[in-house]
C-alpha cells in the first residue's frame, strides 16, 4: 500500500498551490495523511479531490470552518498511523507530544505523524517512529516543498522523501 504523507499546505496565506509533481504523488497514493494547516476550506477540498482516501486533522491556523479532529488514527497495511498537527513551542516538545499521542491512540506497530514545524523528520523517539513531512508547498520556514511516501505492508513501513 502506498501512503502519501503531507502537512502544512498554508494555501492561500503563504503559498499559491501544491507543486504539480507532489500533487501527482498525492493523487496516485492509495491513502493520504494530512497533518493539518490547510488554511482554507478550498485547500481541504482540493486535497480531498486529489486523494482516493484521506485521513486529516485540524492545524493551529485552520479556522473553525475546517471541521476536522485534532487527532485521527487509521490502520494501513498492518500499521496504525496516528495523525495530529503537533502544535508546540519547542522542537523537543514536538517529539514528546507526537510520541505520547501515538502511544495513547494505538498499539504497536504504530507511527506518529505530525506537522507544524515544517521540518522533515523520520526518527524513533521514546520507542515510537515519528514522521513529519515538512510543508507540501514549501511554506516558510521550510526551504523547499516536501512530502513523504510510505510503502506499508505486513506491518512494515518504508519511507521515501520527495522534495520540489
User: For the whole model, what pTM was predicted?
Assistant: 0.97
pLDDT at site 150: 98
Residues 149, 142: Cα–Cα separation, whole Å: 18
pLDDT tens, residue by residue, 63-99? 999 999 999 999 999 999 999 999 988 888 999 999 9
pLDDT at site 89: 81
Q: How far is CA 99 from the centre of its chain?
A: 14
Helix axes 20-28, 41-50, angle to 10 degrees: 60
CATH 3.60.21.10 matches 2-163: yes
Residues 91, 19: Cα–Cα separation, whole Å: 27
Give domain limits for the chain: 2-163
Amino acid at each position: 500500500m502506498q501512503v502519501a504523507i503531507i502537512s502544512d499546505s498554508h494555501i492561500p496565506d503563504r503559498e499559491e498551490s501544491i507543486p504539480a509533481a507532489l500533487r501527482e504523488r498525492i493523487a496516485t497514493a492509495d491513502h493520504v495523511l494530512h497533518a493539518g494547516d490547510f488554511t482554507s476550506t478550498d485547500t481541504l477540498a482540493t486535497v480531498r479531490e486529489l486523494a482516493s482516501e484521506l485521513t486529516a486533522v485540524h492545524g493551529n491556523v485552520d479556522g473553525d470552518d475546517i471541521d476536522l479532529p485534532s487527532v485521527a488514527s487509521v490502520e494501513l497495511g498492518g500499521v496504525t498511523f496516528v495523525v495530529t498537527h503537533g502544535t508546540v513551542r519547542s522542537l523537543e516538545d514536538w517529539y514528546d507530544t507526537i510520541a505520547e499521542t501515538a502511544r495513547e491512540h494505538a498499539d504497536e506497530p504504530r507511527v506518529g505523524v505530525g506537522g507544524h514545524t515544517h521540518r522533515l523528520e523520520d526518527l524513533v523517539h521514546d520507542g515510537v517512529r515519528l514522521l513529519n513531512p515538512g510543508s507540501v508547498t514549501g511554506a516558510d520556514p521550510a526551504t523547499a516543498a516536501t512530502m513523504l511516501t510510505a510503502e506499508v505492508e505486513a506491518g512494515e513501513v518504508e519511507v521515501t522523501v520527495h522534495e520540489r
